[in-house]
Amino acid sequence: MPRKTDSNNPADWIYLSELDLEGVRFLAEREVSYAMCRSKLAEVLEKVVKAELIRCGWFLEKTHDLQRLGKELRIRNPDLADHVQPLIASLAEVYFTERYPGFDLDDPNWPVLRDEIKRVNGVLEIVKERIRGNAKPS
C-alpha cells in the first residue's frame, strides 16, 4: 500500500529527507556524482528546514531559496538557525548551479562534502527529535 504524505506534516518532510540523505551518503562514500550529491544535499537541507519551520507554525511556501528559509528560521528558532547558517552559506547556490548549465562547477572536494553530509544529518536528527517530542521552539 502506498504511503500517503502531507506537506503540512513535518514528520513527512523528515521521512523524505532521510531517504534522500541515504542516497547522497551512499554515492559520497563511493565518490560518485559530486555535483548531484551537493545539489541533493542542498535539497535535503531545504526539507529539514521546512520541517522545522512547519513544526514552529510556519505556513508552507513553495520555495527552494535556502537563504529565505534561513531567515524564516532565524525569526522562529534562532538556536537552530545558528547550526544551519553555515550549511546554508555553503549550499544555497548549489541547488541551481550544479543542476543547470551556465554556471562554473567546483572541483570535487569529497572530504568537505562528507563533512557537510554529517552536519546536515546532525540538523536532521535535532529536528527529528523535536518532532518526536513535539517540543515547541524556545
pLDDT per residue as tens digits for the range 21-38: 999 999 999 999 999 999
Q: Which residue's entry shows cell 563511493? A: 30
The answer to the question of residue 80 being in a domain is yes
Q: What is the mean pLDDT of residues 5-19?
A: 94
At 110 the pLDDT is 97
What lies within 8 Å, CB to CB, of 124 at 6+ separation is 14, 17, 18, 21, 44, 48
The answer to the question of residue 6 being in a domain is no
The answer to the question of residue 65 being in a domain is yes
Q: What is the mean pLDDT of residues 66-73?
A: 95
Its pTM stands at 0.90
Domain tally for the chain?
1
The answer to the question of residue 2 being in a domain is no
The answer to the question of residue 81 being in a domain is yes
Structural domain containing residue 92: 32-130
Question: Does residue 99 have a pLDDT over 70?
Answer: no
The answer to the question of residue 45 being in a domain is yes
Question: Checking phi first, is residue 57 left (phi over 0); if not, alpha (psi -120 to 50) or beta?
Answer: left
At 98 the pLDDT is 66
The answer to the question of residue 27 being in a domain is no
In whole angstroms, give the CA distance from residue 107 to residue 124: 27
